[in-house]
Amino acid sequence: MIKINVSRHRSLSILSAIAIGLVLAIAGNASPGSAQPGTTSPPNKPATTNVVLRLDWTANGKYAPFALGIEKGFFLEQGIALKLQAGRGSLTAVQLVANKSNDFAFADTTSAIIVAGGGGAVTVVGVLQQRTPVCAISFKPLNKPTDLYGMNVGITPVGEDSVWTAFAARNNLDLAKIHMIMMDGPSLLPALVAGRLDATVGVANGEGAAAAILAGKKDNLLYFADYGANVLAHGIIVHRDLIKTQPNLIKRFMAATVKSWDYAIKHKSEAVDALLKEFPDARKDIMARQFDISIPLIHTANSVGRPTGFVVEKDVKETFDVLTKYGGLQNPPSPTDVFTNQFLPAAN
């Protein structure tokens, strides 16, 4: 086993370097990113606009509300013919918005902060996953942070380690008592299922949802957000030029998005069935559990009672604190440049 201590400042430069190459590759094969006029709508309705939503990855249950919104016609009601397009990570998805290959992305908002800090003109217009899904995943008892002592814990250097570092620091964990094993992301889940790892650091509505199904036994998820380490997670990201040139399109997109999420929460099976039509090769049982796990992530304790997607200042501040203190963010952008609630239905 390789034993390492987790560095506090290693992920952002790695993420940026990986993203540059991927953005160029994906952009070359992408559908046109700019919103395109489509068919003419009846009077009093907006003309139909073709819109691509760049996702952060391929099939995942957290996309179910968008698929259901397409199927139910919620986006067409707003004059939007929406197409979902798979991605290769949140940072790459945000970069595709920053270079105007795509108008909209559903990606991790910490990636938007990183890109904005590097000069990218991107803004988050609604956060639909406000509790971070980053957690420890294990088939062993896992009820408190110190239960990780003595375990072989797998982690990837890209993506989750700033939240892990915040979690470890804020809970005064003695990292010498945890055997951290650096691995590439795709290797973590198979190693956990096969018993080569005692636990992994991952995302609850990703590999966390799949682990128990693939292993055929109960898993335990220790959410870092419950122990003082939360960052705002997935939201809708746009270019600031789109805010200037097509604010009404963003308002209509967010109205359809909020309606889709609110409806999907009450019709989970219908939402998963709609998503399966978008990704027919995916496993329905895994996607269903991913969506189940995504629902409690919609609000934090600070935003409970607010409309879907609405962010509060305290959660934004906490997100910036984690990235600057534990993620190596050296040139943080202005929070008001990165987050806005102005395009949400309740804000109009």
Question: What is the distance between the alpha carbons of residues 206 and 123, in angstroms, rounded to a whole number?
Answer: 25
| Predicted local distance difference test score (pLDDT) of residue 157 | 81
Q: Which helix (H) or strand (E) holds 222?
A: strand 220-223
Q: Inform me whether the pLDDT recorded for 130 exceeds 80.
A: yes
| Predicted local distance difference test score (pLDDT) of residue 149 | 98
Tens of pLDDT, residue by residue over 192-223, are 999 999 999 999 999 999 999 999 999 999 99
DSSP assignment of 166-179 equals HHHHHTT--GGGSE
Q: What is the CA radius of gyration of the chain?
A: 20
The tokens for 298 are 């919609």
| Predicted local distance difference test score (pLDDT) of residue 44 | 63
Pairing of strands 49-54, 80-85: parallel
Report pTM. Answer: 0.88
Average pLDDT over residues 287-297: 98
Torsion angle, CA of 282/288/290/296, rounded to 10 degrees?
A: 160
Question: What is the distance between the alpha carbons of residues 143 and 309, in angstroms, rounded to a whole number?
Answer: 30
The domains of the chain, with CATH numbers, are 11-131+231-347 (3.40.190.10), 139-227 (3.40.190.10)
Q: Across all residues in the chain, what is the average pLDDT?
A: 89
What's the farthest any 2 CA atoms get from each other in the chain? 68
Tens of pLDDT, residue by residue over 233-271, are 999 999 999 999 999 999 999 999 999 999 999 999 999
- Quote the percentage of the chain above a pLDDT of 90: 82
Q: Of 265, 258, 277, 215, give the one whose Cα is nearest residue 84.
A: 277
Say if residues 56 and 106 touch (Cβ distance below 8 Å): yes
Question: What is the distance between the alpha carbons of residues 92 and 291, in angstroms, rounded to a whole number?
Answer: 23
